[in-house]
Amino acid sequence: MIGFSFNFKHVLLMTLLSEAVHAQIDITRDVTYTDLTIADTIVVQAGAGVTYLGGESDITMEPSAYIVNTGVFCAGMISSVDILGGDLYNGGQMFITSNTDAVPRDLVLEKLINSDYMSFALSANSSLAVNGPSQNGGLVEIDASRLTLTASNFVNGGVITLDPITVDISMNITGKGCIYVNASKPSVSVDLSKGFDQTLYFANASPLMLFYGSQASTNIPIIRGLSSSAPTVVNVGPITDDSALSSTDVEYDSTGGILNITNTAGTYLLDIGTGYDASLMFMAFCTSSDFGARVCVYLNSAPTQALPSSCEVAVAPHQDRDAICPPAPPPLPPATTLIAPYDSSNVTRVIEYYTTVDSGSLPITTKTTTYGIPSFTEPMDYNTTMTNSDVLIVEDVIYGATTGTISGMPELTTLSFIDTTTKTYTYTLTHSSTFTIPPPYTTTFTSDNMTVSGVVSYYSTDSDSQPATGTTTLIDTVTSYVTVTMTEYEGGTIDLTSYHYTTGTWESTVTFSSDVETYVIRMSSTSLLSPQPTSQG
């Protein structure tokens, strides 16, 4: 029984991690992606799983992709996977599905390294090509119409199970492993000029086999499981001319179970096992054009043969993908809206859900919460007064803001609420005798020989904190008329015969001139009237 050891896995992981130079995503729990492109290094840890569902379009695995799996890796549950390159490193359970539709695809891998279980399920007429150095120490199941293995070196110490109808192995494939063919009437061609030490086991029907190239002595295929009821067709060469029938020689070593076929293309040794009747082997023109050959060797009455130990594997075959792959996530919860009363309005809370990735690029479902909070305005402060008998009461109302919560939304701890402070002041009123303000009155008095009138008005004031009365006197404007008698003599002399004295400021000026002198008379109700002689000429 072929198994695999911890050391194999350890070396595998150390090798691939040292080669991975791309952005890396570590899968540490079961997750499901709907991404349609795989272009980074995906590392699935043991005990974790990842599913790439796909969607309306194919999932594309880019040449830059590195898949490192020691858990469960699944790609292509809803849509198919289109592999354009990249490397697969598997130490767990890996499922690559590309048969969700009938579209043929040519999938290309640069490298495949497996130590556990790996499955490829491809649609009709699709192919899988592995171009780079690869290795299998576990079980690889391939379901495709065509399989082309052209890697420079493929080490198979485990089992590769094939359901393709057409298999073309044109590379070095060593490791003494098993290629287990399940397909009905498959066509299998092997280039024996390359290293080949595998066991070919045919489980369901007799195949058409072609061996070509210059065979080395160490490249002897082991062929088991051939049908006892239908002939197995073996061709070497191929030789395309009719003369090949007479030049072909077939020998069977019943002791060692070696079939020796020699023709102009060379000598080919095949280990078909013991128990055949050599007399029932014959050569004839080929009825199949699969290889373009003219001569085929027909093997009849194959004995019953046990499954070779190299075709047994210590991993559970035919794993149930739907049972172990992380399923599609449930639909996102619907958005919720909550309305709570606040102040004279309402607060609205809306919760919406969406899918994103966490700090490790793993998908998570999260939510956003938005609040609609009305604006808050503090009222204006005010005061009131009230008189009750001999008491004056003054009440000041002062508004401020405080914080608190509302029912149904305890998470809102800083909502603003009105904070009211009321201060009351009391005063005792002291009453005195009746106090009135007299009405204004008009008075006259004589000043500087002039009669002057004025209005006396009263106003309220206080004296020693007691009500008192003050007065204001407004003097009326007085116009004074002054008569001056002047006598003008011969010679130009003017004599003032009377005048009136007043004090104050001058309000007007009268100028009188004679032939000899000029008099300036200034007049005012409160001024002194006097002549101001000036000389002329």
Residue 307 within a domain = yes
CA–CA dist 50, 328 (Å, integer): 10
Let me know whether 194 and 259 are in one domain.
yes
Same domain, 197 and 128: yes
Query: Mind listing the pLDDT tens digit for each residue in 476-528?
Result: 665 555 555 666 666 555 665 555 544 444 455 566 555 555 555 555 443 34
pLDDT, average across residues 228-246: 71
The total of structural domains in the chain comes to 4
Percent of the chain with pLDDT over 70: 73
Q: Are 167 and 265 in the same domain?
A: yes
On the question of pLDDT at 159 being above 50, the answer is: yes
**What percent of the chain lies above the pLDDT cut of 90?**
24
Tell me, yes or no, whether 431 lies in a domain. no
Same domain, 110 and 69: yes
Averaged pLDDT of the chain? 78
- Say if 381 falls within a structural domain: no
DSSP 8-state secondary structure symbol assigned to residue 99? -
Res 372: pLDDT: 93
Question: Given 272, 295, 311, which residue is the final one in a domain?
Answer: 311
Query: Is the Cβ–Cβ distance between 123 and 151 less than 8 Å?
Result: no
Question: Do 170 and 28 share a structural domain?
Answer: yes
Tell me if 324 is assigned to some domain.
no
What is the reported pTM? Answer: 0.65
**Same domain, residue pair 112 and 187:** yes
Residue 194 inside a domain? The answer is yes
56-94 pLDDT per residue, tens: 677 888 888 889 999 999 988 766 777 777 889 999 999
Q: Which residues pair with 295 in a beta bridge?
A: 285
Query: 88 and 186 share a domain?
Result: yes
pLDDT of res. 162: 85
Q: DSSP of 423-438, one letter per residue?
A: EEEEEE----S---PP
Q: What's residue 116's pLDDT?
A: 92
- 247 or 119, which is more confident? 119
Q: What is the pLDDT of residues 306-321, one digit of tens each?
A: 889 999 876 665 578 8
- Does pLDDT of 349 surpass 90? yes
Question: ∠ at Cα 69 (63, 75), nearest 5°?
Answer: 60
Q: For 194-218, how does the pLDDT look when each residue is reduced to its tens digit (9 = 90+)?
A: 889 999 998 876 788 888 888 888 8
In Å, what is the CA distance from 33 to each residue of 107, 329, 506? 21, 9, 110
Give the per-residue pLDDT at 273: 92
Domain containing 457: what range? 441-475
Mean pLDDT over 27-50 rounds to 89
pLDDT the model gives residue 269:
94
Exposure string of 290-314, with b = 16+ CB inside 10 Å and e = fewer, is bbebbbbbbbbebeebeebebbbbe
User: What pLDDT band is residue 27 in, cutting at 50, 70 and 90?
Assistant: very high
pLDDT at 531: 45
Q: Average pLDDT of 143-168?
A: 80
Same domain, 138 and 202: yes
- Range scoring the smallest mean pLDDT among 151-160, 253-262, 479-488: 479-488
pLDDT at 336: 94
Measured distance CA(511)–CA(491) in Å, rounded: 20
Whether 434 is covered by a domain: the verdict is no
Asked whether residue 363 is assigned to any structural domain, the reply reads yes
Would 292 be classed as within a structural domain?
Answer: yes
Residue 232 confidence class, pLDDT cut points 50, 70, 90: confident
Residues 93 and 131 in one domain: yes
Do 144 and 113 belong to one domain?
A: yes
pLDDT digits (tens, 9 = 90+) for 381-392: 888 888 877 788
417-426: average pLDDT: 90
Q: How far is CA 528 from the centre of its chain?
A: 104
Query: Domain check: are 360 and 247 in the same one?
Result: no
Q: How far is it, in rounded angstroms, from Cα 69 to Cα 75?
A: 12
Do 165 and 133 share a structural domain?
yes
